[in-house]
């Protein structure tokens, strides 16, 4: 597949601050329409997709960073394999990684020991948004570092977030 192109539907609504809802309007990525939940608060970012047993093929979650900074994700209590896309403030894909499901915490395992054994997936560049979708989506859509999400910079889309 050629370099994926992205467009964001209802951009005027987003720019006007319509991000107060739990979900964004549909986002088209490589010809596929996605519906994303948005994790804006520390509590929402910490919980993410934990404990879920299903994620629609066209579903996912956006983790909005209060300010662009290096980011790290893990699969604590996450039951669905995911692709993790790290985006900069201009909407460019910095890095894409596939995160596999890790064995759950054992009955005889301390929380500290469980957390220490989990791999951490990092992007050391300034990240504005992390996108999680079902594992394999980045490859099937032909996503590559440098690809850009839409014509709007993410800093403009998310400027009104708390």
Average pLDDT, the chain: 78
pLDDT at 107 over 50: yes
The predicted model gives 119-126 an average pLDDT of: 96
Task: Give the DSSP letter string of 112-130.
Answer: HHHHHHS--EEEEEEEEEE
Q: Assign 11 a pLDDT band (cuts: 50, 70, 90).
A: very low
The predicted model gives 123-134 an average pLDDT of: 93
Q: Which residues contact 35 (CB under 8 A, 6 or more apart)?
A: 23, 24, 26, 27, 56, 58, 59, 60
Q: What is the DSSP letter of 24?
A: P
Q: Which residues contact 43 (CB under 8 A, 6 or more apart)?
A: none
Quick check: is 162 in a domain? no
Quick check: is 145 in a domain? yes
Quick check: is 87 in a domain? yes
**Percentage of the residues of the chain whose pLDDT score is greater than 70:** 75
CB half-sphere exposure, 162, CA atoms < 13 A: 7
User: How many domains, in total, are found in the chain?
Assistant: 1
β-strands 59-73, 121-134: how paired?
A: antiparallel
Quick check: is 1 in a domain? no
Residues 38 and 60 sit within 8 Å (Cβ to Cβ): no
- What CATH number corresponds to the domain at position 115? 2.60.120.1140
Q: Which domain holds residue 150?
A: 6-157
pLDDT at 156 over 60: no
pLDDT at 124 over 50: yes
**Taking the model in full, what pTM does it have?**
0.78
Quick check: is 129 in a domain? yes
The predicted model gives 120-130 an average pLDDT of: 94
Residue 31: what pLDDT?
A: 73
Residues 38 and 22 sit within 8 Å (Cβ to Cβ): yes
Residue 46: what pLDDT?
A: 85
């Amino acid at each position: 597949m050629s370099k994926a192109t992205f467009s964001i539907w209802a951009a005027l609504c987003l720019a006007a601050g319509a991000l107060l809802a739990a979900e964004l309007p549909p986002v088209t990525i490589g010809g596929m329409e996605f519906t994303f939940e948005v994790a804006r608060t520390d509590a929402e970012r910490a919980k993410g997709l934990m404990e879920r047993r299903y994620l629609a093929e066209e579903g996912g979650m956006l983790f909005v960073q209060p300010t662009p900074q290096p980011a790290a994700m893990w699969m604590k209590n996450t039951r669905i394999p995911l692709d993790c896309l790290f985006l900069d403030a201009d909407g460019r894909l910095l890095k894409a990684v596939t995160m596999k499901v890790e064995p759950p915490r054992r009955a005889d395992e301390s929380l500290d020991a469980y957390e220490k054994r989990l791999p951490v997936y990092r992007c050391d560049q300034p990240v504005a948004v992390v996108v999680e979708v079902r594992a394999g989506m980045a490859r099937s859509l032909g996503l590559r570092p440098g690809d850009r999400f839409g014509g709007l910079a993410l800093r403009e889309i998310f400027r009104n977030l708390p």
